[in-house]
A and B are shown apart, each in its own frame.
Chain A
């Protein structure tokens, strides 16, 4: 598994837990709010768990962008310095 895939799967698990879904139900590009009934509370908690897991700080302003798993990965990669 590539670094990118590993990160994506870890993020998928975090997102799934907060959104109360099975990881395999979380599609890469599906919009959390439109398709999975996410709200701002859950978005903040996803961010918090990511910060804790990767010891990285991400401003809450980035939440506007982090609306799908793929988008989350891009934002986290930027702040964590991943070369995915």
Chain B
């Protein structure tokens, strides 16, 4: 049984739609936002592929938002948009069957480091703000999204950096296949802060980016309205010694599980996919995220998926054809998913 995507919610430096994400990726040049006066602390750059003008209070209201960290706020907004876009209204009959699965890297590094910093610089190490304590747990964004939208189903947070979205997608697909949930908000989130900016700079991964992209995944047959895409399979593995071979193996397993031939793959979304040059034809369309949107870590895969959806929507002849979404990390994690997108409703293609 596969999962069907019926809605999406995006907050990105390129704009708040998958079409704008695709446009930025296609342009291939780095999105630049002026960040020089965004923080009191110094940054390694004056411009970065960061989201411009994100106003959490304007989007979510004052109540319950002034102590949120940016990653949590970005995730909450994207989750809300995905629910609305997918026309799913949580109510007392369905909320226990609706959940959230989000990808992360370290949660909000800024929240954690700031909280820890207080234990060193205050007169007493325990003079921390208790309201900020929940921000230090990595499941903060998923938990807050559940509270805001009243979602009592499976609620999970999966760490994976660049692989996080694919891990989350596989986790969510399992939960839907096993009957634990009827609908899941699946996505990835990453915030741009001095912490992530410097981390990316100091580890040569930069520039750091930020985004939140969330998709409403439903059990096939349970979806109302049109399906945007179908997630056929996700395979993951760990191959620290030969990540190219590991990624190729993953892609092979994902394609086999989806009963898709390599020759039928028309697009390849995601960064660091060179290892697949002997697997999929070199002529397939490629949609890498990093050149345009920076190192978005746990949100990168979710942006790549969004670009695929947008591509299918604009070109009906690719509708229903399988595409690969892949990711890998320098630690040796590898993952691949097989997805099919549709131009609109998609009912005709199933």
- Residues of A whose CB lies within 8 Å of any CB of B are 17-18, 20-21, 37, 41-42, 44-45, 48
Contact = CB atoms under 8 A, between A and B. Distances in A.
A41 B133 contact: yes
B65 A45 contact: no
Range for the number of chain B residues in contact with chain A? 10 to 19
A34 to B, nearest CB: 15
A48 B63 contact: no
Given A20-B62, A20-B67, 15 more contacts: A18-B131, A20-B63, A20-B65, A21-B62, A21-B63, A37-B63, A41-B130, A41-B131, A41-B134, A42-B131, A44-B130, A45-B129, A45-B130, A45-B131, A48-B127
Contacts of A48: 127, 129-130
Interface in B84-132: 127, 129-131
A3 B130 CA distance: 30
Contacts of B65: 20
Contacts of A41: 130-131, 133-134
Chain A contact residues: helix, strand, loop or mixed = helix
Interface of B: 62-67, 127, 129-131, 133-134
Contacts of B66: 17, 20
A50 B129 CA distance: 13
Nearest to B122: A52
Q: Which 7 A-B pairs have the closest CB atoms?
A: A41-B130, A44-B130, A45-B131, A41-B131, A20-B66, A20-B63, A20-B62
Contacts of A17: 66
A20 B64 CA distance: 7
A20 B67 CA distance: 9
